[in-house]
Structure 1
């Protein structure tokens, strides 16, 4: 059976185009279906596939690792297909060496793009999306077109211990789909509180296909939700929508990952535009405790990429939001830098770039040595 499933995994090119992970000696370009590629930190020249010293050739390393701000360790996963679908869990030290891994069998062939860390736990919400391999093997559909929305399966909840990478609990809740989580923490009652950008269905898949054609027509609204889970039972205790604005790409300050936090930064649509035909034209900061939204509207025909939080090296309680903005009015790209506490003010700095930078997915901030 393994040979059959190899037909739809070996034929996929490792795009290494989703995100980046910076270590002291190299930059890793990440893609969820394969190994990272190492780049030179200064020249960005592609060097070779990186095995993190101990990562087997057959195991993928996904594009959304989480760094523990206390220990400096990174946690990540990769889904491998074969006779069984396996969720592989990884712990990587601050130098980029894989020091621990474990695995857990999954039901069917799900689409798992991201996860979240809350204190001593790693949480996965497996959406009811399953790959149908038959049309893919017959070359009748592309990889993304072969995923089916199966709401009757619900959303599966898997909670792992961060130290051992062993499964603690599992549960099931309402069907939804998510690409990205913002953050999570353990509250004073011992429950996990999770920020997620949530879709009611899987229309986002068709919308993204249409975006690449330049003529999108499918609505796929995503909003910011908070989920409260008992980590010892996997039971979802509470779900509530925090922000009813179409948004994506949530981030928090890197020193608050897995810890209590107040502000979530997102990309979102400008007020008054058609969210189907326009892409994100603003970034914003949502205050969890006050329910307040402060946004930076980048202007007509200007499109920012995912906000990136750059910590102040002297004061860990402040920082800057960095984004690359494409200006469709001038056909130019610029780096815009905002004070993270004053997003509604003008950028504190705008840096013109010599070439247009295509709209991308994710990035990271690495301070100069």
Structure 2
């Protein structure tokens, strides 16, 4: 990567201040007529308070970006999210709540208990006609479907403590599932169901072997699958207020990684598998094959990626350790676990077509790097991996200096294959210092984008999003 481009991507980490509802976006190219719905994306958009920068990218105050597609046109909206704790810290002009990588100075802790901050900065959930911003150390934050304004935090009537930023849909059950972490004498995994057209349900809790951190999981028609890495939280240091949450996470490779499989219909009979140590932030998909569960995920050798994630938001000082795409096979009868590398390219944020969820899929889409020289900055490529042949293809994003977010697939009308559709990705264009959403043809990655829809401003790179088709 050239020095110019290395400097350029830093513009994707500037505080966002131009809140606005839906307004027409400039369309470059031609939008497909059958692309109809709303792309929603959530990420950190304000990176400090009171003149003090946060300690980690994960700590930034959340914001939401949306594009409505329809009739060959696009409208865009962008807003900072205003949870009670974000508002309180902004009004005080200082950090008054603990975060993943930032904490309140010890002398301020003497005045009383310090609560966690709901940064509402990780993902988005569209559920039963409502929109929510998600943050795994807090409650869902409901957003207006009309203009994205913040409405209120909610426990959905059932949330015991926290609610993960990664719910997963199981089409066969007409429901989505999620979890929350609860620390105490025993660390508990609280499990939730979100049925279509009905109220959320609390399913129960599964105890975990120690105070760990789980960011994501995956679902099949009958099971929920968790990778429990040998990451352990130093509870005594946390209770004494010594350092932020991330500073008290310890990698203990000797413990190995344990895989937890929870039968959806019987939480009392979880299955455990033991394997070598590794870490996974994100899953792509999973499906059942007889007595086997097949799971696609991005595998990291250890938790070293945490350091890169901390520094990239400050301008990048280290090289990304780079996770790679793996396929794991779990045999429920023999209790064996094996995992095979399916791509050598450093990548993250794996996604499949919505119709392929919990089914055997062929294509998987990732955000990736064009080469080793790009590893110091954000992802600068979108990739498609053929899980049958192993073929990797990078999409043509156009000129240099394009930095991308997680790809989101939406099918063409009457699609019958999992590459018959469009890949949408938020892009920070370093040369212009503006943000656009690129609409890519999933069947023709070598072709330039079908269209780009441009905002009149930059918006920081978001973590996760989803596409809500027009009803």
Q: When the two structures are superposed, what TM-score results if normalisation uses the length of structure 1?
A: 0.92
Determine which of 297, 305, 308 is the counterpart of 1:204: 305
Report 1 or 2 for greater relative contact order, CA contacts < 8 Å, sequence distance ≥ 6.
Answer: 2
Equivalent in the alignment of 1:228: 329
- 1:144 equivalent in alignment to 2:243: no
2:396–2:448 Cα contact (<8 Å) kept: no
Query: Given that residues 122 and 134 in structure 2 are in contact (C-alpha distance below 8 angstroms), is that contact kept between their aligned partners in structure 1?
Result: yes
Task: Give yes or no for contact 1:54–1:97 (8 Å, CA) kept in 2.
Answer: no
SS at match of 2:458: coil
Q: Which residue of 2 aligns with 1:301?
A: 401
The answer as to whether partners of 1:270 and 1:297 remain within 8 angstroms in 2 is no
**CA displacement at 1:139 relative to structure 2:** 3.3
Distance in structure 2 (CA, Å) of the matches to 1:64 and 1:354: 30
**What is the SS of the residue equivalent to 1:113?**
coil
Superposed, which structure 2 residues align to 1:48-67 within 5 Å?
Answer: 48-56=152-160, 59-67=161-169
Structure with higher helix content: 2
CA contact (8 A) 1:267 1:280 kept: yes
| Cα displacement string for residues 285-310 of structure 1 (whole angstroms, at most 9, x for unaligned residues) | 10011111111143422101100111
Residue 86 to residue 338, structure 1, CA distance change in 2 (3 Å):
same
> Which whole-Å CA distance do the structure 2 matches of 1:334 and 1:212 have between them?
20
RMSD between superposed Cα atoms in Å: 1.9
Q: Please give the per-residue CA displacement for 1:256-308, whole angstroms capped at 9, x wherever unaligned.
A: 11111111100000135241x22210001100111111111434221011001
Q: Does 1:242 align with 2:342?
A: yes
Equivalent-residue separation in structure 1 for 2:254 and 2:242 (angstroms): 26
Match of 2:282 in 1: 180
* Structure index of larger Rg: 2
Structure 1 residues 9 and 289, CA, compared in 2 at 3 Å: closer, same or farther?
farther
- Pair 1:291 & 2:394 matched: no
After TM superposition, the score normalised by the length of structure 2 is 0.73
Deviations 1:328-367 (A, max 9, x none): 1110111101112222211111111122110110000001
Aligned mates of 2:456, 2:196 — CA distance in 1:
34
In 2, the alpha carbon distance for the partners of 1:327 and 1:114 equals 29
Change (3 A) 1:363 1:196: same
Partner of 2:379: 280
Maintained 8 Å contact 2:118/2:137:
yes
Superposition map of 1:53-92 within 5 A: 53-56=157-160, 59-92=161-194
In structure 2, the gaps of 5 or more residues are 1-108
Count of aligned residue pairs for this structure pair: 358
